[in-house]
Amino acid sequence: MKSLHDLQNGALTRLFAVGAVLGPAMEQGLAEQGLTTARAEVIWRLHHLGPMTQRQLSDALQCTPRNVTGLVDALEDSGLVERHPHPTDRRAVHVTLTKQGEAATADWTSRSSQLATRIFSDVTRKDLETLVATIDEILERLDAPKP
């Protein structure tokens, strides 16, 4: 019988293995669309959170405003985002998805749904609920401030 410590280490090893498989696959799919992971994250956040200022994007991405400017410039050049005057702060601009950016997120959603079906088609509802709850707990712990 494995010790709790051995089970914990085994679980972490498996999480790393999943990341090692999904990470490169995601990067390849994004590269086929001419995107980097950082640019895709900007699009993903705008899709899920709506228009944002570059400062808000900088905070969300935990990077410098200058880096966000470069990301937004590249995405704007690709036709995936556009800048609009902020409705209440004339010094700021909102970054929004274009129709092409929305189409890209719809494509990602479709591909993700197909992958989820392929991966989890034989997993019971109860096991999926347990998996999702466990991953949520792990993410909370990883996001929590370190003592």
Question: Distances from the Cα of 31 to the Cαs of 14, 19, 28, in angstroms?
Answer: 26, 18, 5
Q: Return the sign of the alpha-carbon dihedral for residues 72, 37, 28, 104.
A: negative
Domains annotated for the chain, with CATH where assigned, are: 15-143 (1.10.10.10)
**124, amino acid identity:** T
Calculate mean pLDDT across residues 104-108: 90
The pTM of this model reads: 0.77
The residue assigned the tokens 């709790």 is: 4
* Average pLDDT of the segment spanning 103-127: 93
Give phi and psi for 95, each to the nearest 5.
Answer: -100, 130
CA 81 to chain centre: 16
**pLDDT given for residue 133 in this prediction:** 96
Residues 6+ apart with CB under 8 A from 10: 2
Which pLDDT score is estimated for 91?
86
Instruction: Name the pLDDT band for 145 (thresholds 50, 70, 90).
Output: confident
The dihedral through the CA atoms of 18, 39, 54, 85 has a sign that is negative
Backbone angles phi, psi at 52, to 5 degrees: -140, 160
pLDDT at 89: 85
Average pLDDT of the segment spanning 18-29: 90
Over residues 113-133, the mean pLDDT reads: 95
Q: What is the pLDDT of residue 30?
A: 87
Average pLDDT over residues 67-78: 95
